[in-house]
Amino acid sequence: MASGSGTNAQRICEYFADHPSIRVKLILSNKANAYVLTRAQQLGITHHFFDRTTFYNTNSISLMLKAEGISFLVLAGFLWLIPGNLLNAYPGRIVNIHPALLPKYGGKGMYGERVHEAVIKSGERESGISIHYVNECYDEGDIIFQARCAVLPEDTAASLAGRIHELEYEYYPRMIEKIVIGR
């Protein structure tokens, strides 16, 4: 599930393209014009858009996922809180990645450049990524893995984001694999 351009989603799809037991079967987005849907089409992966009403006021997404045989959900830049019906349908089987070292710099509205700006403004000497299970609160699920990088004195939100993206691309697919195979 993604809300934006889908670079992490693409890396995940490519990582699992020839995997013997794990594959990306479906990409969902809450934004009709999100570039992640174009990436999904280019990769030959089934993709769908859904709106807020469908997501929060129906069981349509949960039913679609079950019908497709989806057993594990990965959030890759998905910005909405996951509703209870999906949390109940996939207990302990939804993961997310956050571009900072949680529990700092998480929560509603803390995504993308906003996170990096807050990290720099606070004078942090390091940042990184947090891969965590999803629960009913933004960025508060149990942390599975963190990787760190330095915050340099000359950093801007964009330069820090570049190093954070490299950590995401390196570790998120590998951690997804480890979690799914370990089930």
Known catalytic residues? 98
Strands of the 143-150 sheet, one edge to the other: 73-74, 94-98, 126-133, 143-150
Domain range annotation of the chain: 7-181
CA-wise closest residue to 47 among 95, 15, 19, 10:
10
For 138-160, what is each residue's pLDDT tens digit? 999 999 999 999 999 999 999 99
pLDDT for res 138:
97
Percentage with pLDDT > 90 across the chain: 99
d(CA 106, CA 111): 8
In this predicted structure, the answer to whether residue 183 has a pLDDT above a threshold of 80 is no
Find out if CATH 3.40.50.170 is the number for domain 7-181: yes
Query: Half-sphere exposure of residue 160, counting CA atoms within 13 Å on the CB side?
Result: 29
For 56-94, what is each residue's pLDDT tens digit? 999 999 999 999 999 999 999 999 999 999 999 999 999
pTM of the model: 0.96
